[in-house]
Chains A and B, each alone.
Chain A
Amino acid sequence: MKVNLRINGVSRTADVEPRTTLLDALREKFLLNGAHAGCEHGVCGACTVLVDGEPVRSCLMFAAQADGYEITTIEGLAPAPGELSAIQDAFCETHGLQCGYCTPGMILSAHALLQRNVTPTREDIVEAISGNICRCTGYGQIIEAVQFAADRLQKANTPHSATPADAPAEAK
């Protein structure tokens, strides 16, 4: 079957089987390899992408279900080739990763958090990344990366959403 997906701001089409997951379609049909298969049963979060800005496990969603939604993958975060977003750069600053396998999903979850809350508490960050399992870091430097990114985003001279800082995290 044919699906029309809007990925990182660009409309793309592909022929997939009805059973093809969004993860497999992203990797095999669109050659976007940043989303990774970890458990393929919705626990580890390595396959996380954003669907209309919210973190979603692409191993649990069919490509056909994603038709009509705005999908953001890790490849959509960097502003330009070789240039990192503030959050990506923060992960480098604090070494919030080791093997890098969970990292794209982790960064997308953090990105979604900071889109709605630029002054997250440690608890907010823990909650936001709790669906992304990292076996390397013990999360310490990841949490620091998100705090560092939040601090930079607050100080950046760019407009950001007027959502109150203490707004509750949305249920996922």
Chain B
Amino acid sequence: MSETTPDVLLSLENVSLAFGGVRAISDVSFDIRRGEIRAIIGPNGAGKTSMLNVINGFYTPQLGRITFNGQPRSRMRPSEAARQGIARTFQNVALFKGMTTLDNIMTGRNLKMSRNLFWQALRHGPALAEEIEHRKVCEEIIDFLEIEAIRKTPVGKLPYGLQKRVELGRALAMEPKLLLLDEPMAGMNREEKEDMSRFIVEANRRLGATIALIEHDIGVVMDLSDRVVVLEYGRKIADDVPDVVKSDPKVIAAYLGVSH
């Protein structure tokens, strides 16, 4: 498994990340293939969110090699990652609370708009035509996520489960090559989880998004993902298809908290 295989979208090789003396990630290697749903799981503090932050360029690892879309990368800002086609949602919803659902999703299109802010503000001529084009994409996402009824509701007024859905919508609006989901189902009830699972699977199958997700609900993870990587204390302890990972004694030990 290396970056030379054409179906690999992202590969991490021997990545290590430390904050001062604290090692968040130690010597971790794995890859994400095009079109798959890849789960990253592990107990609290295992380094999952740090790993997501490394992937989208928020943290730069001290050691290791990252290759995205065939290009090796060293140091980059999250905005560059976004431009390269990496979108993400956050553990705690990070939306513009005062803006409507539609406007929030439209912000996901911003990188795709070629006219500058001046023309956008003027809403005239080519900028207007462009906005209509982008609005169409957003409307398709609204239809896809079944949130027509809240199109014009400020997201601050929405219940948590719907805010999560809007956040997914904004990430999808970027038409990302890689979609990072940080605990997309945290704090949801069973029905909301089922809905969200459906949207993730559909985003993957229908819209062809490659997805990497962190999730605590192991049942959901095993149902959704094609492959699972398991972290513990910043190290990789398993990496395989769900059925194998499920019966891996190391994984079971990590989750049951057995000392070793």
A binds B: no
Taking Cβ atoms with an 8 Å cutoff, the residues of A that contact B are none
Taking Cβ atoms with an 8 Å cutoff, the residues of B that contact A are none
